[in-house]
């Protein structure tokens, strides 16, 4: 045995359920972070923190990770979101000689990271997607699409994060409501994220299919319904619950991951279209996801399953879980409420809802099966630290619509 598991992006709240999962099973854990104070550092299960350069600086970050794993002899390295996954995966030939990396092949990760490749993969394998337009350096085609598409529609960067000029850049997609807005948004995104996607807006409900694979074979599934997200038009889930995995969602997920010869953690996001009740693929996340704690509470302990696969070679499959486990990320849920109260009568997301019913639902602070992200009675310090930090960060969050501690790089 070596020195346990080293976890990247220690400032990211998703690290906390990973620490708790492994720590409760006596697996030693440490985090890497570019912040001296991060929410996970206050967990009793975090044995050590290693400071690294920001993931905004790709080369410097990868070099630091290589030096750390060479010196410290950890058994496993868990990347978290794209910010750490891509630099680590890209430089795996330098890093993997010193630590086990339980992640998919780099080409498979890139197909998930590039939404254009993801949509084409889905189409090739008869997995439904929203109506999607690709523009290849043609102003005439962009103008034609802007006149023909139904509004609102979505302009979406192909990548959530890119590196250039020594820095990382990131941007969300968003709804547009007119031809002029579509063209302006497209050109703005295109400056840093060439050739973004243009997609129809699909009304309906989002479902996440969380899974872990072992060399092309599924070892666990958990389906999570997203009731509220922030930003509301497409962002991080802030109120979600476990639901049964439908045959269609499982079939589509297995088809895509088989085509990718998947290994490790993945989350596939679908929206069940309210017009025809067909799930439409939105994206494949080749990494841990924001509602990880919901799956763990429901009995699908993805961090420990991944640990067992990496350390023991395989694990017994987990395909049954508790339905009705509800997770609430209160910080972001509060931002959702602000958005509804401010824009409820003008925002397309809210206009077809009864806002009073949404408000009444939001005000349910206790219900069966509900837990709050970050909070655990036997490990309270991360929650207390986050609560103290939130008022300070609130202004930045509202202004940028991202969590400053989980989104390094330049946002525009």
Work out the mean pLDDT of the chain and round it to a whole number: 91
Lowest mean pLDDT across 149-163, 166-180, 192-206, 390-404: 390-404
Query: What number is the average pLDDT over the span 330-338?
Result: 87
Instruction: Kindly state whether residue 176 falls inside one of the protein's structural domains.
Output: yes
Domain that holds residue 96: 5-101
Give the model's pLDDT for residue 387: 86
> Is 90 exceeded by the pLDDT of residue 311?
yes
pLDDT band for position 348 (cuts 50, 70, 90): low
pLDDT band for position 342 (cuts 50, 70, 90): confident
Q: What is the pLDDT of residues 263-300, one digit of tens each?
A: 999 999 999 999 999 999 999 999 999 999 999 999 99
Query: What number is the average pLDDT over the span 199-226?
Result: 97
**Phi then psi dihedrals of residue 314, to 5 deg:** -165, 175
Q: What is the pLDDT of residues 29-55, one digit of tens each?
A: 999 999 988 899 999 999 999 999 999
Give the model's pLDDT for residue 357: 81
Q: Residue 357 belongs to what H/E stretch?
A: helix 355-362
Q: Are residues 82 and 44 in the same domain?
A: yes
Give yes or no for a contact between 61 and 81, defined as CB atoms under 8 angstroms apart: no
pLDDT band for position 84 (cuts 50, 70, 90): very high
- What does each C-alpha distance from 135 to 114, 140, 412 come to in angstroms? 15, 10, 21
Q: Are residues 121 and 238 in the same domain?
A: yes
Give yes or no for a contact between 249 and 210, defined as CB atoms under 8 angstroms apart: no
Q: Are residues 235 and 373 in the same domain?
A: yes
Instruction: Kindly state whether residue 404 falls inside one of the protein's structural domains.
Output: no
If one counts the domains in the chain, the total is: 3
Q: Are residues 149 and 187 in the same domain?
A: yes
Query: What number is the average pLDDT over the span 161-188?
Result: 88
Q: Are residues 317 and 368 in the same domain?
A: yes
Give the model's pLDDT for residue 345: 52
Give the model's pLDDT for residue 338: 83
Instruction: Kindly state whether residue 391 falls inside one of the protein's structural domains.
Output: no
> Is 70 exceeded by the pLDDT of residue 394?
no
Residues 6 or more apart in contact with residue 354 via CB below 8 angstroms: none
Q: Are residues 299 and 373 in the same domain?
A: yes
| Residue finishing a domain among 182, 200, 218 | 200
Structure-token pair, residue 318: 């987990």
| Residue finishing a domain among 200, 217, 235 | 200
pLDDT band for position 353 (cuts 50, 70, 90): low
Q: What is the CATH number of the domain that holds 177?
A: 3.30.1490
pLDDT band for position 359 (cuts 50, 70, 90): confident
Q: Are residues 318 and 250 in the same domain?
A: yes
**Percent of the chain having pLDDT more than 90?**
77
Instruction: Kindly state whether residue 402 falls inside one of the protein's structural domains.
Output: no
Q: Residue 48 belongs to what H/E stretch?
A: strand 48-51
> Is 90 exceeded by the pLDDT of residue 309?
yes
Instruction: Kindly state whether residue 395 falls inside one of the protein's structural domains.
Output: no
Q: Residue 411 belongs to what H/E stretch?
A: strand 410-411
Q: Are residues 252 and 114 in the same domain?
A: yes
Give the model's pLDDT for residue 401: 47
Query: What number is the average pLDDT over the span 99-104?
Result: 98
Give 300 or 229, the one with higher predicted confidence: 300
C-alpha neighbours within 13 Å on the C-beta side of residue 197: 24
Give the model's pLDDT for residue 303: 98
Instruction: Kindly state whether residue 306 falls inside one of the protein's structural domains.
Output: yes
> Is 70 exceeded by the pLDDT of residue 397?
no
Give the model's pLDDT for residue 404: 39
Q: Are residues 355 and 247 in the same domain?
A: yes
Query: What number is the average pLDDT over the span 86-90?
Result: 96
Lowest mean pLDDT across 169-183, 213-227, 304-318, 348-362: 348-362
Give the model's pLDDT for residue 232: 80
Instruction: Return the sign of the alpha-carbon dihedral for residues 248, 114, 173, 330.
Output: positive
Q: What is the CATH number of the domain that holds 36?
A: 3.40.50.20
Q: How far apart are CA 10 and CA 31, in angstroms?
A: 5
Give 403 or 314, the one with higher predicted confidence: 314
**Phi then psi dihedrals of residue 400, to 5 deg:** -95, -15
pLDDT band for position 162 (cuts 50, 70, 90): confident
């Amino acid at each position: 045995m070596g020195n346990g598991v080293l976890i990247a992006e220690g400032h990211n709240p998703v690290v906390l359920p990973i620490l708790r999962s492994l720590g409760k099973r006596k697996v030693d854990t440490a985090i890497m972070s570019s912040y001296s104070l991060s929410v996970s550092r206050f967990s009793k299960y975090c044995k050590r923190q290693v400071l690294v350069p920001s993931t905004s600086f790709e080369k410097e970050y990868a070099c630091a990770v290589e030096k750390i794993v060479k010196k410290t002899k950890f058994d496993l390295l868990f990347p978290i979101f794209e910010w750490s996954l891509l630099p680590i995966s890209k430089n795996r030939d330098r890093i993997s000689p010193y630590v086990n990396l339980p992640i998919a092949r780099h080409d498979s990760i890139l197909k998930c990271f590039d939404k254009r490749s993801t949509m084409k993969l889905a189409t090739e394998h008869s997995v439904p997607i929203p109506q999607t337009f690709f523009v290849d350096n043609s102003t005439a085609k962009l103008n034609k699409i802007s006149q023909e598409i139904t509004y609102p529609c979505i302009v979406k960067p192909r990548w959530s994060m890119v590196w250039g000029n020594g820095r990382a850049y990131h941007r969300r997609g968003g709804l547009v409501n007119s031809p002029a807005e579509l063209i302006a948004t497209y050109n703005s995104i295109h400056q840093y994220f060439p050739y973004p996607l243009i997609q129809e807006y699909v009304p309906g409900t989002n479902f996440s299919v969380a899974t872990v694979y072992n060399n092309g074979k599924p070892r666990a599934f958990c389906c999570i319904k997203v009731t509220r997200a922030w930003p509301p038009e497409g962002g991080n889930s802030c109120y979600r619950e476990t639901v049964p995995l439908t045959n269609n969602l499982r079939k589509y997920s297995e088809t895509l991951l088989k085509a990718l010869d998947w290994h490790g953690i993945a989350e596939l996001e679908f929206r069940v279209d309210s017009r025809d009740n067909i799930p439409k693929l939105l994206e494949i996340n080749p990494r841990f996801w924001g509602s990880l704690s919901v799956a763990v509470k429901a009995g699908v302990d993805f961090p420990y399953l991944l640990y067992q696969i990496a350390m023991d070679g395989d694990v017994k499959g987990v395909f049954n879980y508790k339905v009705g486990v509800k997770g609430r990320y209160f910080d972001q849920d509060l931002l959702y409420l602000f958005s509804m109260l401010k824009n409820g009568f003008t925002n397309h997301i809210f206009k077809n809802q009864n806002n009073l019913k949404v408000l009444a639902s939001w005000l349910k602070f206790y219900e069966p099966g509900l837990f709050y992200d970050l909070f655990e009675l036997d490990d309270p310090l991360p929650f207390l630290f986050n609560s103290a930090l939130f008022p300070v960060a609130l202004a930045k969050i509202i202004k940028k619509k991202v969590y400053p501690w989980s989104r390094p790089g330049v946002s525009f």
